[in-house]
Amino acid sequence: MKFRRHMPPLRQLRLRFPRLQLPPMERVQAFRWVVWLGISMMAGYVFAVLFVFPAPLFSHHRVVPRVVGLPLAEARRNITDAKLGIIDNGAEPHPTAAVGTVIWQDPPPGVTAPANLRVALVVSSGPPRVPVPDVAQLDVGLARKLITAAGLTVSQVESVQAAVPTGLVMLTRPPAGTTLPPGTRVGLVASRGAPTITVPDVLGLSTNDARTRFEQAGLTLGSVIRRRTTDASPGTIIAQRPGAGTLASPGTIVDIVVARTP
């Protein structure tokens, strides 16, 4: 027995799907949700491209690397690896950055730039140099304070005999106006007053008597030279240097010449 199936040809077969009928108000709300969803997805993509996974918009563009704080050699290498050029803008003082460290770059890091762009770099030349203040004719105590306030230190105070009131600074070493790194030691040369000791006359005296005279006056006996002569008794002083009556500072050395037997 045979059965016949009553089916239309495939080309006459039409699929029918039920149509979702929404009220007008609900269709407007659904459309708004679709629009907001699309905007949210686009905003998320833009945020990811710009901030999460930044990348150049075009293949021939590069992102400027951050090189501030790096040694100059390493900064040059990073910029070269990014296929960018370099402009050397010299060095400037910096209070904390080590010498040769990059302290400024232009353009700033993260900027998208064409491949032929050149990045300008400025490196640190170290802390600013300090000029030695002029403290001549000032009291030693005040001179110390001024030099310390300038960022330098006083290493030593040397006193010399001079026709300047005692305790006043005559000069600095190095001289005033010399620029030095902060903390450099500066020496002071101060006056201990003008010479006030008159060299006594020891001609005709013995060596021991001359030594006693010099010590009493605050001077020092220096070299003793013996010379043959017939003009003075042997053992007596026939010459001295400095000469008698000369003003000398305390501790000045006086050399003498003593007569000996012809």
* Per-residue pLDDT, 136: 93
* Per-residue pLDDT, 42: 81
Burial class (CB in 10 A: 0-12, 13-18, 19+), 152: buried
**HSE value, Cβ hemisphere, 13 Å, CA-based, for 131:** 5
58 or 143: which leads in pLDDT: 143
> For residue 38, is it within any domain?
yes
> For residue 206, is it within any domain?
yes
> What CATH number should be reported for the domain holding residue 99?
3.30.10.20
Six token digits for residue 170 = 């005559």
Q: How many whole angstroms from its chain centre is CA 8?
A: 97
Same domain, 40 and 76: no
Same domain, 222 and 253: yes
* Average per-residue pLDDT for the chain: 84
Task: State which residues form the domain around 170.
Answer: 130-191
> For residue 243, is it within any domain?
yes
DSSP string, 87-151: EEEEEE--SSSPTTBEEEEESPTT-EEETT-EEEEEEE--SPPEEPP--TTSBHHHHHHHHHHTT
Same domain, 134 and 150: yes
* Per-residue pLDDT, 70: 95
Same domain, 183 and 235: no
Residue 77 clears pLDDT 60, i.e. is over it? yes
> For residue 88, is it within any domain?
yes
Please state the domain count of the chain. Answer: 4
96-139, pLDDT tens digit by residue?
899 999 999 999 998 888 878 899 999 999 888 999 999 999 99
7-16, pLDDT tens digit by residue?
555 555 555 5
224-244, pLDDT tens digit by residue?
999 998 888 999 999 999 999
* Per-residue pLDDT, 18: 54
Same domain, 118 and 81: yes
Residue 66 clears pLDDT 90, i.e. is over it? yes
Residue where a domain terminates, one of 169, 191, 213: 191
Residue 1 clears pLDDT 70, i.e. is over it? no
